[in-house]
Structure 1
């Protein structure tokens, strides 16, 4: 078996060190970007924390839009300024970090890569020194990047932002995803916000029918919907509506009546309404002056015979005669 020459082994060690230095330099670049970008991350975190707490859903549209623009443009400006002023790592920085990670002394990596001019007769001594440094350098470990912000943020403001995000997530609960998504869509002019509406009609028990799911556009076209085929349901059916989103509490317009929704939290609105008026022909849900949904109705009268048969028989209790 051929024995590997010292020159081949030295080339192998240099190639291995070059790969490690590439990784270490990448970690140093990441550390530089991390330290430059943390104020922007804190701004974005604070913005999303307020979104989780429902602030943007209650604030005026122009305030939400102004803060969104400030975070977007201001954050980009701060990041650009800090990145321009950053000191980017070079090859020498990567060498020092790798040597520091392994606790090496006398800069063995420089000895492996450098080829100084030597006087006659000194090459043998230099090769021995280089081989010794190569044996030391080949085992230097690559450690994880140092992402601590102790010096950049001595007052630990980032901890306040993280705490606010945690509290906001607990407060929002299952609505957290929708609020975060809505925070990325500030209102422009009179553009409607994201609203989710679920509605169904539950017929009376005597009919034995399943609930009727109401499909309607979130932004209703009144002229079009009134011309559509009416929904057929018996009198006494129960309308159940769940509306999530919007800044103001919605109302149900049923004939001459305006029935307000019950609001749970800040943007979760619920309503249950019995359709007892046989002359009722249109149901409309409005929120903040905007029509959210509209359904024409055709209520059929109660089937008294079927209703009576569905009721349990009366139980007569009395004393026996005699």
Structure 2
């Protein structure tokens, strides 16, 4: 059987009975040289465990795991004569498929390389951790780009009229538009040199407010040593009359105000549109609420070059005053 088939078969064996309190049911999944070198187990509470033997002569080491996958060294003899095993538990049932995938990847590496299961496990965990870290860095960069665009416009408005800016900025409060009083402005920032496109979130983001107008302002950003950081913008907004405390009070878990001072951006292109009935996009005002009644997490790319009736970006100040 393949590594993943061994994991599936072991799980089927564990499903056949419930151990008594303080006991576990275990099924070997290790390589042919020693099937007990790695075992899947289930305790009386239904928690899935991975037990990996520490090879003779090896000493326990610090575990690079956190609260999601709690782990401990067990000083208990196992069938192959090993005196100690690593016990990793998966307490969250929603993570069981991911946990089993991790076990399968570990066993596949062992089958290919012949290395001890404990070494393959650490390699897999390190690879997963690096992948997650890259994903977090990418997410942080995307958030920084979006926040930079929004704060750039907030700074412009604060320099024109600080009380007006304080009242109009809605981006971190869960509103569908970034700036809104009677009329609305949606701000998008993007990077890259290809055909410019911005992400639209939901079926309402391109819907004008009731009785008002909506404009879309998009800016292309490039990283440059001569540019500004998000932290620079926050300082400038504070100097323009909107205190930092007000910004951070509006920070939320989903839309955080991040003090970012590593990435520096310059604005290299600006686009301004009035979103009329003829403006492209998926929205409730055009298709009706029924069309979106069973739709969740709607997100799509809007190609700016294909959007009609672009305005002179220098009119942004008029749009801001007219909010």
Report the TM range for the smaller structure's normalisation: under 0.3
Larger relative helix fraction:
1
Larger relative strand fraction:
2
> Larger radius of gyration, structure 1 or 2?
1
TM-score (ref. length: structure 1): 0.23
Structure of higher RCO (CA pairs closer than 8 Å, 6+ residues apart): 1
